[in-house]
Amino acid sequence: MSKTDETAFETTRRVRDTCLCLHAQRAARKLARRFDDALRPVGLTSGQFSLLNSLNRPEPAGMGAVASLLGLDRTTLTAALKPLERRGLVQICVDPRDRRGRLMTLTPAGQALLTAATPLWASEHALLPGLLVEREVDSLRRDLLALS
């Protein structure tokens, strides 16, 4: 193996071990699977639970606000709503005060499902702190790793 190759492999190892983006993706995937499992009894994915939850407010929410709350693209939100709308959990209507906008509301069925799902979320979430370690300089990365 040439010296150049060794350097390349060394760089690769450094990227692999330090990249916060990779650590975050990995932790996010594993957490999603974990909560997907926990929420399977009520037929929701972790993402759908977060979405339903974010729609549970006194006043109907607009798409932009929810997309930004969840940190996802507006078009991703549009797509994510479709299965929920099909299942009658969410209702979407034109904002009468600005006809470009849409307002999303939980239906009673959506409310009920969210209520059923929340305890499942809570028990699963209660398990997580046990995975985390002490804190210091590189602790975010260690935490993301611990969750993986």
- What backbone phi and psi angles, to 5 degrees, belong to 62? -90, 165
For residues 130 and 21, what is the distance between their CA atoms, to the nearest angstrom? Answer: 23
Q: Which of 78, 88, 119, 135 binds DNA (CB under 7 A)?
A: 78
What type of residue is 137? Answer: V
Asked if 116 contacts 39 with a C-beta cutoff of 8 angstroms, the reply is no
> Binding to a second copy by residue 26, rule CB under 8 A?
yes
Q: How many residues bind DNA (CB under 7 A)?
A: 32
**Region near DNA per CB under 7 A, out of 11-19, 68-76, 116-124, 135-143:** 68-76
Using CB under 8 A, list all residues that contact a second copy. 1, 5, 8-9, 11-12, 15-16, 18-22, 24-32, 34-35, 46-47, 50, 53-54, 56-58, 69-72, 111, 114-115, 118, 121, 125, 128, 132, 135-137, 139-140, 143-144, 147-148
